[in-house]
Amino acid sequence: MRADGGAPVGPGRPDGTRTIAEVLAEARSRIHRLEPAEAAARAAAGAVLVDTRTGDQRAADGTVPGALVVERNHLEWRFDPDSDARLPEATGHDVEVVLLCDEGYSSSLAADSLRALGLRRAADVIGGFQAWRAAGLPVTPGGAAGR
C-alpha cells in the first residue's frame, strides 16, 4: 500500500498510475449505463445507437439492426460536433449517443471520452452486444456461431 493510502504500486509501476480497473471505475462513475432493454427503448425513441465493435466481431457474432457502426478508433472524430470528420448524426453536444461494444467494457471508456468532448448524454450498454443478444433483442446473425 502506498503511504497516501492509494492502491499498491507493483514492481516497476510508476507512482501516480492507475490500473485499468481503477480507470474503468472512474469512467463509469461519470457516465450513465443502460440495461440492454433500456438502450433499445432509447434507440427507438431517437438516441443514436453506435456499435463500436471490430469488423471481425460483427462478422462472427452479428449486428444490431439500425445501429450505426463506428469502430472505436474513429469514435471521437466522428462525434465531436466541432470536428471536420463528424458524422451527420453528430448534431451537437446534446445528441444522445448509446455505445455498444462486445461486453460493456470499452464502451464505458468510449462514453466517458465522448462526455469529455461535451456530449453529456453519452451512455453505454451494460454487458454490451453479448447482453443485448442474451436479452433476446434484435440481432442480424453473423457468419459464425455465437459464443
**pLDDT by residue (tens digit) across 87-98?**
999 999 999 999
Check: CB of residue 108 under 8 Å from CB of residue 31.
yes
Count CB atoms within 10 A of the CB of residue 45: 8
Beta bridge partners of 123: 32, 98
The domains found in the chain, sorted by start residue, are 32-134 (3.40.250.10)
Span 29-39, pLDDT tens digits:
999 999 999 99
Q: What is the pLDDT of residue 48?
A: 98
Percentage, residues of the chain above pLDDT 90: 85
pTM of the model: 0.87
Report residue 79 as a C-alpha cell: 462525434
Burial (0-12, 13-18, 19+ Cβ within 10 Å), 110: buried
Query: What is the per-residue pLDDT across 6-64, written as a single tens digit (0 to 9) for each?
Result: 555 567 789 899 999 999 999 999 999 999 999 999 999 999 999 999 999 999 999 99
